Amino acid sequence: MLRSFAYIVFYAVGISVGYAADNKPNVVLLVADDLGYGDLSCYGQKKLETPNIDRLAADGMRFRDFYSGNTVCSPSRACLMTGQHPGRVHCRGNGDESVIAALDPSMITLPRMFKNAGYATGAFGKWGLGVTTEPGRPNPLTHGFDHFSGWKSQRIAHTYYPTSIVRDGKEHKLDPGTYVHDLIMKDALSFIHHEAESSTPFFCYIPTAIPHAAMHAPKNLHEKWRKKLPEFDKKIGKYSAGADDTCPDVKNPIAGFAAMIEHLDNQVGELLDVLRQENIENNTLVLFCSDNGAHREGGHSPEFWNSTGPLKGIKRDLYEGGIRSPLLARWIGTVGPGSTSNHISAFWDILPTMAELTGQPIPAQSNGVSFLPTLVGKKSDQKEHEYLYWEHPQAAKRDQAIRVGPWKGIVRNWKKGSTGAFELYNLKDDVSEQHDVASQHPEIVEDMQRLMVEAHHDIP
């Protein structure tokens, strides 16, 4: 009874310095891989349904103006873990994982912050920030995770049929044809079951590889969607993974994509059922988002599925379709059911949000702003960003982007110390970025160029 009373009081008055120390909520953070802004039915998808993921929206909050860390995997995840924006974080693109992706061990990253707050921690899926088995090198376990289950590297995570799975730093061989995603999700649910039996709060991070690249899905679901979409049966999806790992071709990858999404949605439903069965759903914050925009790889067709919704661009672009992400937040009794938010936020805000939630100091390196006031209905206490900034030096034209209120600036062919052609869009009236109004607002362009210079810091 005392626990319930404390919960109601904090919901009524809001949270200003972190959640009650004796009643810290569990946190489950699901990060899909290359899921587009329009791939969920709660964000407008019409050709397939995601009823279990939609429960997160129905029971909680749907963010309309949330952004990933970057437009590709590793730098986006680096922003999530460090709370730094793309102009400050160490990782600016995909590449040699042992060189550019590994996190700075001296930083208090997201899992380490949870450990400092007394949480049990587990990560299950695609790490994307270095090889997960290298002795003496940074990996999930050295950054504060008690447990890790997933792929050995980001490259190997290109296939759902790898030769091995890594559990707690040790590599275990798999039988040929093992769909590793299901083993990883089983480990995640086992972690939740185990921690629910103790009095220790937990942080469960699930960076699933679905729906990245290779359109691998369980056979029964794939066949179901092939029957629905026979017109694509002559299409073959191809992708590649590590040198020693097979990445099977996919007949009808259009059907494969739908099967993957349905499978993930079913597993989200299973996860929510576990929280209810363990009687912890009212004290568990569930967040669901994507690491970047929709892709066009492995035979996937973002055009057929309208994966970007009304947005322009896809993965590897800094237009909205490459970086805007769904964000759903479910915390029954605290986050208003069926609510929406236009608060402008990004991956680097999750770390300070979790710091405030758990009563921890925000790590010094963070550029983020906590959106906890938005979650708990205290909009008047919500601080806003002066700007959000992205850069992607691996893009064909070296792109930069910035958002200031409703205004979005894009620079193509950016070079150090100078800017290329500047495009300006008013997202309030033109979310599809169809009408460049830079020539009409030179003063806004000038201010944005100044902020871009301020935001970018060189890295070795």
> By C-alpha distance, which of 274, 213, 305 is closest to 52?
274
Domains in the chain (CATH in brackets) are 2-386 (3.40.720.10), 396-460 (3.30.1120.10)
Query: What does the pLDDT read at residue 412?
Result: 86
pTM: 0.94
User: Which run of H or of E encompasses 400?
Assistant: strand 399-404
> By C-alpha distance, which of 324, 311, 288 is closest to 69?
324
Q: Are 216 and 261 in contact (CB under 8 A)?
A: no
Q: Which residue has the tokens 């729906």?
A: 211
Query: What does the pLDDT read at residue 175?
Result: 97
Q: Are 78 and 103 in contact (CB under 8 A)?
A: yes
Tell me which residues of the chain have a pLDDT lower than 50.
1-21, 98
> By C-alpha distance, which of 44, 60, 95 is closest to 74?
95
Query: What does the pLDDT read at residue 419?
Result: 56
> What are 389's strand-pairing partners?
402
Q: Are 400 and 420 in contact (CB under 8 A)?
A: no
Here the tokens at position 121 are 């921690």
Spatial separation of the C-alpha atoms in residues 453 and 267, rounded to whole Å: 44
Q: Are 308 and 293 in contact (CB under 8 A)?
A: yes
